[in-house]
């Protein structure tokens, strides 16, 4: 089990609210397993304004390249610089040291549209849409 504050999307991103208007974003363990060995992450820039569902970057693995989408509307305020030299952190620890970026979100109600861990696990078990 993860921290109960984690929220998930059906596109396999996770969100961890850090305070009342800031959240950390990454991809789920399921997503990193599907991608295989990750070799590169190209992220958005600090200061980029995002709408929910906007691309925040591309993860490249030995199998494929995959877009990552912002679950929330807001502004990128921090990127995980460790991924530049160690993209494998996404594989090794996707919910902790493999986080992608932090966003200052402007619509907290969007968090309510995201899945709980139990709902996300059910979604995976039922098969993806």
What domains are defined for the chain?
7-115 (2.40.50.100)
Question: What pLDDT, in 10s, does the model give residues 28-87?
Answer: 999 999 999 999 999 999 999 999 999 999 999 999 999 999 999 999 999 999 999 999
Q: Which of 54, 58, 78 lies closest to 66 in space, CA to CA?
A: 58
The Cα-based distances of 63 to 7, 66, 98, 101 in angstroms read: 26, 10, 19, 23
pTM, two decimal places: 0.92
Residue 126: partners with Cβ closer than 8 Å, 6 or more residues away: none
- d(CA 96, CA 101) in angstroms, rounded, equals 12
Name the β-bridge partners of 68. 57
Q: Sheet containing 7-8: give its strands across.
A: 7-8, 13-19, 22-27, 101-105, 74-79, 49-50
- Residue 51 to residue 69: CA distance in whole angstroms: 10
**Residue 1 predicted with pLDDT over 50:** no
Q: Each residue of 34-49: pLDDT tens digit?
A: 999 999 999 999 999 9
Q: What is the percent of the chain with per-residue pLDDT over 70, rounded to a whole number?
A: 96
């Amino acid at each position: 089990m993860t921290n109960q504050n984690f929220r998930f999307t059906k596109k396999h991103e996770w969100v961890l609210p850090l305070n009342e208007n800031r959240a950390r974003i990454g991809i789920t363990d399921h997503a990193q397993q599907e991608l295989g060995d990750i070799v590169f992450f190209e992220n958005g820039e600090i200061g980029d304004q995002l709408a929910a569902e906007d691309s925040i970057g591309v993860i490249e693995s030995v199998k494929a390249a995959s877009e990552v989408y912002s679950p929330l509307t807001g502004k990128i305020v921090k990127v995980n610089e460790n991924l530049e030299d160690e993209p494998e952190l996404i594989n090794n620890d996707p919910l902790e040291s493999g986080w992608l970026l932090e966003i200052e979100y402007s619509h907290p109600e969007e968090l309510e549209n995201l899945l709980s861990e139990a709902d996300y696990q059910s979604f995976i078990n039922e098969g993806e849409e």
